[in-house]
Chains A and B, each alone.
Chain A
């Protein structure tokens, strides 16, 4: 450029940096608050991250065997499992194990039928009141979006699942119907410890420790919150590589066009 003061350039660069920093600061400020969550490495993090297919299968087993008795998964249809390596027959077999209410039929009556791949996972309770009545007044949230709906995401879900102790810390009084949890905000959680060593028999023979099951079901729930993630990241890499090349070409064109002005 021309002979403008280096000062101006410095100020102007500073301005850019400050605004970007402002964005960063503001969002980190938003992200803090609540209990701290230990960070863990997940295979689905990073720009090349994918969901571990084995963990997804085991996670589904944990969800069906443990979580599903209280928590729904209403945004996931059985057919969605086909996107992550389940075969059509496997999906049909999973769906058919569920009995769902449908109707009304021609006579105006509701009826029960076995599940189909196009059905969504049925919720365990008919409505919120029924859910609260069965859980001492607490409402077990639907898990479809839980990983996106909590600060800390997967680390938070894993932290809650592994944050139980046999006894609460000394001096902490836990009210009736509550349990102490390291990660849950306020530490008093309505959900009793859900996972114990051997809670499920893994089909692939993996040893079902609490940590293993927590990690597997967290991976499964991360997928159910962002089923598009793998496609999104693959596309992102291509789009950004394209844009970098395009920027380079446009910069060359710009230099050429401006050659007679400078």
Chain B
């Protein structure tokens, strides 16, 4: 890769001393990219766009926000009402969080389908997971800042999770809170960290791109590029494709901002935080719901481990096992296109994650199938039976069959089990036993065949 021809002498002078223009030319212009990337590859750059949108709007919002338990809620309303276009900034930022997550989740599932985590891209995959974890921490702390009821109680529930760890748990929670309950010090540190973490994300994104550019993008066929005929320069081919994708995506994003700005939020967060009133259902934002379902799937103790600890460990494990995915998936074929059995299990995994999200939004002990009336009737019959047995001098609880009601938590347990089964058992076995389809010999092959038919 030679230095690009530079006509401007000033630029050439500068580039001789710090070759930043040469660097940009190599990495953003001539960077060889597989020619067969489909539109699922748009979501990486879209995530980058969303990160920039969030940082820019966030910085301006921070100029008008007051991180104090007494003033935070009112300062957000002031942004909404009195700051010029403050409502626009806040709605871009609040809906941007949801958009950022949907983009990143699609990006991750694209990687899962096309085997983008496989050698030599394991570190690239790890860095992506680190970005996801940082994003989750940032989003959680950002949601606390308006200091509404869901902010406050969400913060209380999630920080309390750390109390599940034996011995050090309570000390950790007190340390996180900066006191003995979620209060002003908690809000202040969350604000500070909410401002810091996005810049850490930027740092990891740089590493993510560095790792990406070391071996280049994976592609829908999952085979390596074999020569210059398999690649095209990033610019203009993928710059224009990414721009087109971004414009289409912004249509959806704008529809939320301008027409349904509160659709993805929760009404309770327009009630100022009140430590004395607990909302009937404390639910996190939609992008955390699958993890919330895994957390609450554990309503039983195992040996010395209480349910709460199990839930917390499972929730963290659900992301941490993804770090091992490059080795858990034993198949030598990257792309799901050539894995006829994997393909179907991939679809089931997506359905599983949707089910987890659905369960996460529900009260765990609500009946899943039976109607409320049926359940009430069965409970009444049971209570009557117990009372009768007790009156007869027997132990009612032994004599009567407690009605079994299928609840949301049971569906959540099933879905949680499947999630771990998919990664820990299915993928290792499937990789060894599956009969994959024959791989094409080159990226170009079907393209030229198709092209020849079209008379090219």
Contacts and interface: CB of A to CB of B under 8 A. Distances in A.
Binding between chains A and B = yes
B416 to A, nearest CB: 16
Given A239-B254, A250-B240, A250-B243, A3 B449 contact: yes
Given A27-B264, A262-B451, A75 B77 contact: yes
B130 to A, nearest CB: 22
B350 A15 contact: yes
B417 to A, nearest CB: 19
A177 interface: no
B354 A25 contact: yes
| Dominant secondary structure at the B interface | helix
Contact of A254 (B102, B241, B255, B350): B241
A23 B266 CA distance: 14
Interface string A166-206: 00000000000000000001000000000000000000000
Given A21-B354, A29-B358, A29-B362, A247 B248 contact: yes
B251 interface: yes
B21 interface: no
Sorting the interface of chain B by its residue count into under 10, 10 to 19, 20 to 34 or 35 or more gives: 35 or more
Contacts of A250: 240, 243-244, 247
Contacts of B379: none
B84 to A, nearest CB: 11
A25 B88 CA distance: 26
A250 B251 CA distance: 14
A227 B81 contact: yes
| Dominant secondary structure at the A interface | helix
A237 B289 CA distance: 32
Interface stretch (B189-197, B279-287, B317-325): B279-287
B236 A15 contact: no
B257 A236 contact: yes
Nearest to B443: A2
A148 B450 contact: no
Given A240-B255, A253-B240, A254-B240, A30 B88 contact: no
Given A243-B251, A261-B35, A19 B450 contact: no
B259 A236 contact: yes
Nearest to B357: A26
Contacts of B418: none
Interface stretch (B24-32, B105-113, B367-375, B397-405): B105-113
B113 A27 contact: no
B62 interface: no
A119 interface: no
B395 to A, nearest CB: 34
Contacts of A7: 337, 343
Interface in B135-176: none
A191 B236 CA distance: 65
A18 B248 contact: no
A150 interface: yes
Contacts of B35: 261
Interface stretch (B53-61, B63-71, B121-129, B267-275): B267-275
Given A4-B220, A22-B354, A239-B254, A261 B263 contact: no
A157 to B, nearest CB: 12
B353 to A, nearest CB: 7
B274 to A, nearest CB: 10
A126 interface: no
Contact of B113 (A15, A153, A240, A253): A15
B350 A149 contact: no
Nearest to A225: B270
Contacts of B446: 2-4
A2 B347 CA distance: 23
B347 A14 contact: yes
Contacts of A2: 36, 446-447, 450
B385 interface: no
B13 interface: no
A184 B147 CA distance: 25
Contacts of B268: 149
B351 interface: yes
Nearest to B101: A23
Contacts of B88: 232, 235
Contacts of B266: 30
B379 to A, nearest CB: 20
A119 to B, nearest CB: 14
Interface of B: 35-36, 38, 40, 74, 77, 80-81, 87-88, 91, 98, 102, 105-106, 109, 113, 220, 232, 236-237, 240-241, 243-244, 247-248, 250-251, 254-255, 257-259, 261-264, 266-268, 270-271, 280-281, 283, 286, 289, 336-337, 343, 346-347, 350-351, 353-354, 357-358, 360-363, 446-447, 449-451
Interface of A: 1-5, 7-8, 11-12, 14-16, 18-19, 21-23, 25-27, 29-30, 33-34, 47, 75, 80, 141, 144-145, 148-151, 153, 185, 225, 227-228, 232-233, 235-237, 239-240, 243-244, 246-247, 250-251, 253-254, 257-258, 261-262
What 10 pairs across the A-B complex have the smallest Cβ distances? A236-B258, A29-B361, A149-B270, A250-B244, A22-B354, A3-B446, A247-B247, A228-B87, A26-B286, A148-B270
Given A12-B40, A80-B81, A253-B244, 6 more contacts: A2-B450, A22-B354, A29-B361, A243-B247, A243-B250, A262-B451
